[in-house]
Amino acid sequence: MKFTLNGRRVEVEAHPLARLLDVLREECGLTGTKEGCGEGECGACTVLLDGRPVNACLVPFAHAEGARVSTVEGLKDRRLRAAFVDEGGAQCGFCTPGMLMAAAALPKGFDEQGLKRGLAGNLCRCTGYTAIYRAVEKSRARRAPARPKVRRAAPKRPARRRSA
Amino acid sequence: MSLPLSQMTLLRPRSLDQALRLLGEEPTLRPLAGCTDVYVALQFGQPAAGRYLDLWGLDELRGVRRGRDGRLVLGALCTWTELQRSALVRRHLPMLAAAAREVGGPQVQNRGTLGGNVANGSPAGDGLPVLAAAEATVVLGSARGQRWLAFTEFYTGYRATQRRPDELILAFEVEPLEGRQWFRKVGTRAAQAISKVVMAAVRAPRPRLALGSVGPTVLRLPKTEAALAASAPMEECQRLLQEEIAPIDDVRSTAAYRRHVCSALLDRFWSETAPPRRGKQR
């Protein structure tokens, strides 16, 4: 069956009722997508199907036919990944791939409520969520042309100016 | 979870006609769409071997539109995400948009469908009280034709419906609703929780109340509604409500808590939808 996986057109043989999660992990070798609960509660297996977050444990492979599937391995948003590290948004790390994908699907210009709603389908048992929210907000704030709001980034800037 | 894939077959019709024909020839086929219930049931040990009918690609069953006499027609495959975003739903059936926002998280909202919620028939289904309070009509289709059923008569018992094995739910029709709509879901947490109690209601000259998770299926409360219409005291309405519901103790809550919450929700519905300027109607 043909579909687009992380921007590449691929053809994968698997049963149409196999879980997309299992196809990604076992047939495609992409083990970044995790299985938490296996019943759509935890969001650890979140991938994007045609740009929208879904639980890969509840998607039959047939529904990926001709679609764009994006997994954490294809996530190009380095700011988002770095912000999770900087802010302590990842602790045990099991929810992190799903969190990253759900965050990547947030609409532009989300507010606090939009952020919480956007990540509502992802459970984390370590962070208490505030570090994750902070990380996502930070990654978006840095994109703005204005000065970064995060203080930690400030010391680096004068150094760069001097060398320039 | 390891599915017995070698004993599972998926039929993938290209059109609704083809799907209905396949189901007519083989009524034991198990329909599936967004799979947010079907795959969970398989995980919980429901026998997975068998033949499945994939409805997900049937675009004829998607979308929200205005039908005859201004009625709203909701395709069975409308996802919760589509229902939240639909301008028609937000304007004419805001309690459905509210319910759609509270189902699972975005991952489930992107896949779960209104038709699937109804077909699954869980007494805790969040869409069910809305359709009951709106007095929606279920459109059922088979190779033999279509028929229309009142949603309030659709369920015959716990997860039992009037859908015949060769029928599919095609759509729901809702006639224009007068009055203020109200929806409230009470769960363990704000998101990703199955309802302990879920209530949809309409404040109109003929008030309508529908409750989920407090009986074998979604309940309308005719005695309580009549008491509200007659401006009976709230305590009296709550007493009638308690007679009309039949909650049980289960993994999510207790009967006693559900009873307490239902009375509180009734009071809140009535006070929050009270017409402005007039005094409290108690």
**pLDDT winner (highest mean) among B151-155, B249-253, B274-278:** B151-155
Measured in whole angstroms, how far is the alpha carbon of residue B86 from the centre of its chain? 17
Q: Which residue has the higher pLDDT, B213 or A141?
A: B213
Interface contact flag, B10 A117, Cβ < 8 Å: no
Of A21-30, A82-91, B270-279, where does mean pLDDT reach its minimum?
Answer: B270-279
What pLDDT does B254 receive? 95
What pLDDT does B1 receive? 58
Interface contact flag, A38 B43, Cβ < 8 Å: yes
> pLDDT category, A162, cuts 50, 70, 90?
very low
Interface contact flag, B111 A121, Cβ < 8 Å: no
The CA distance from B125 to B12, in Å, is: 27
Choose the closest CB to A40 out of B8, B108, B190. B108
The CA distance from B247 to B244, in Å, is: 10
The pLDDT tens digits of the residues spanning B218-262 come to: 999 999 999 999 999 999 999 999 999 999 999 889 999 999 999
Of A149-158, B48-57, B123-132, B191-200, where does mean pLDDT reach its minimum?
Answer: A149-158
Interface test with B, best of A39, A58, A71, A113 (most B CBs within 10 A): A58
Percent of chain B's residues with pLDDT above 90: 89
Interface contact flag, A59 B81, Cβ < 8 Å: no
Chain A nearest CA to B136, separation (Å): 29
Average pLDDT, stretch B54-73?
Answer: 96
The pLDDT tens digits of the residues spanning A109-129 come to: 899 999 999 999 999 999 999
State the DSSP code for A147: P
State the DSSP code for B79: B
Structure-block tokens of residue B69: 């006499």
What pLDDT does A163 receive? 45
Asked if residue B124 lies in contact with residue B251, where contact means CB atoms within 8 angstroms, the answer is no
Contacts 24+ apart (CB under 8 A), A143-151: A143/A79
> pLDDT category, A142, cuts 50, 70, 90?
low
Amino acid at A4: T
Asked if residue B221 lies in contact with residue B245, where contact means CB atoms within 8 angstroms, the answer is yes
Around B253, how many Cα atoms within 13 Å sit in the side-chain half-sphere? 25
The CA distance from B196 to B247, in Å, is: 10
- This model of the complex carries an ipTM of 0.93
What average pLDDT is seen over chain A? 90
Chains A & B: contacts with CB separation below 8 Å: 90
Asked if residue A35 lies in contact with residue A98, where contact means CB atoms within 8 angstroms, the answer is no
The CA distance from B252 to B193, in Å, is: 9
Interface contact flag, A16 B106, Cβ < 8 Å: no
Q: Is the pLDDT of residue A108 over 80?
A: yes
Structure-block tokens of residue B191: 């998101």
Asked if residue B135 lies in contact with residue B148, where contact means CB atoms within 8 angstroms, the answer is no
Average pLDDT, stretch B249-276?
Answer: 95
Which residue is closest to B34 within chain A, CA to CA?
A: A59
Q: How many CB atoms lie within 10 A of CB B262?
A: 26
What pLDDT does A151 receive? 52
> pLDDT category, B189, cuts 50, 70, 90?
confident
Asked if residue A7 lies in contact with residue A19, where contact means CB atoms within 8 angstroms, the answer is no
> pLDDT category, B44, cuts 50, 70, 90?
confident
The pLDDT tens digits of the residues spanning A48-101 come to: 999 999 999 999 999 999 999 999 999 999 999 999 999 999 999 999 999 999
- Which of A143, A96, A140, A161 is closest to A122 using CA atoms? A96
> pLDDT category, A161, cuts 50, 70, 90?
very low
Chain B nearest CA to A48, separation (Å): 9
Q: Is A25 on the interface with B (CB under 8 A)?
A: no
Choose the closest CB to B104 out of A40, A49, A59. A40
Interface contact flag, B1 A38, Cβ < 8 Å: yes
Measured CA to CA in angstroms, residue B161 lies from B128, B129, B132, B138, B141 at distances of 13, 15, 14, 11, 14
Average pLDDT, stretch B79-98?
Answer: 98
> pLDDT category, B101, cuts 50, 70, 90?
very high
